[in-house]
Amino acid sequence: MLRVSIALAAVMGFVASAQAATVVPTVYEAGHFFATPTLANGQVLRLLVDTGGGGINYWLQESTAARLGLQKVSCPELADAPLVTAPEYQPDKGLPKPKTYCGAISALVPEDGIDTTMDGMVGSSYLPDHIWTFDYPRRTLSIEAPSWMPPNNAHALHMNLPATRKGQVRQSFPRIKVTVAGEDVDMLLDTGATARPTREGLATMGTSVVKGEGTTSYATARLISHWHDAHPNWAVLDNADGLIGPKRAIRVPSVEIGGWAVGPVWFVERPNANFEQVMSSMMDGTVHGAIGANVLSSFRMTLDYVHATAWLSCVERCEASVPATK
């Protein structure tokens, strides 16, 4: 969902080809992907790519939009929305023009806690316009050609996507199903899930961080308590993370996702209402947490929103899961 951290990675230019993937200018920062498009005037933006993020198309901070002199836009589809013109980019160094909402983007005042060093976010309103490959091991982000086909070694993971209602912004937050200790759990697929581990959390969980922040997966307080009651031998760490106040975390031995097994995985606690009410109200069903990059970083992951499928190719720290026997 939101937040960011900083680590060093290469800035990649577009590789334009009718059939080949287009590599998006990107910086990979401690598990997060930041799009870094170059404006016509040479300035470089920094936009978190977040499957759990909102906005209209992609969004910029209001202060960034003002600095760039972007003009306000009135779009009949969303007459009262805070829309501005999308920036002009240098050839082969930008983001594709939005296909919806008059080609405009939103200018927002970020909520408390969002990293103010970023200029905005590429989220769930814009991502469905394309097929995206998050290659975590190679730290690259690509837009695939419409003719893209999954590789033979990829496993399909169904993404349950909410329908867009007339007069409402399209927000394609993916609900996925994972399995933990034989129980299915509905989760948000969340490339933006962020951790800010405490000193104890760093020492115990081993989260990779830059400037104090990294990536994680989330579970509601109710789910963590259920897991702990059912599996008292699973480690629980109090005061593990401080992103939204002191929160505990639980170490799950293995998570099954799309026919792959990954583990162990630490889940950081979140209030029940954050997911079961707020997030779920914008999705097609109830979710009890989020799967973030401490799981997803094992894969080369392609998100095909048109076919509601995430394709996962195991690269490291994962193996084919064994179906449970009855």
- What mean pLDDT is predicted for residues 199-218? 94
Is the backbone of residue 103 left (phi > 0), alpha (psi -120 to 50) or beta?
Answer: left
pLDDT over threshold 70, residue 108 = yes
Question: Rounded mean pLDDT of the chain?
Answer: 90
For the entire predicted model, the pTM comes to: 0.90
The helix (H) or strand (E) run that includes residue 199 is helix 199-205
Average pLDDT over residues 291-308: 97
Mean pLDDT of 266-290: 97
Domains of the chain listed by start with CATH number: 160-298 (2.40.70.10)
Query: 316: closest CA among 141, 134, 137, 135?
Result: 137
Q: Which helix (H) or strand (E) holds 222?
A: helix 221-230
How would residue 79 be classed by pLDDT, with cut points 50, 70 and 90?
confident
When pLDDT is cut at 50, 70 and 90, the band that residue 115 belongs to is low
With H, G, I as helix, E, B as strand and everything else as coil, classify residue 182.
Answer: coil
pLDDT value for 170: 82
pLDDT at 205: 96
Whether the predicted pLDDT of 270 surpasses 50: yes
Please give the pLDDT value at position 163. 84
Residue 166: what pLDDT?
A: 60
Binning pLDDT at 50, 70 and 90, where does residue 1 land?
A: low
Cα-Cα-Cα-Cα torsion 40, 42, 45, 46, nearest 10 degrees, comes to 140
Give the model's pLDDT for residue 122.
Answer: 97
Q: Per-residue confidence at 305, pLDDT binned at 50, 70, 90?
A: very high
Q: List the single range of 127-136, 156-165, 242-251, 301-310 with lowest mean pLDDT.
A: 156-165
Q: What is the pLDDT of residue 211?
A: 87
Average pLDDT over residues 113-131: 87
pLDDT single digits (tens) 31-75? 999 999 999 999 999 999 999 999 899 999 999 999 999 999 999
Q: Work out the pLDDT band at 15, boundaries 50, 70, 90.
A: very low
- Residue 18: per-residue pLDDT: 38
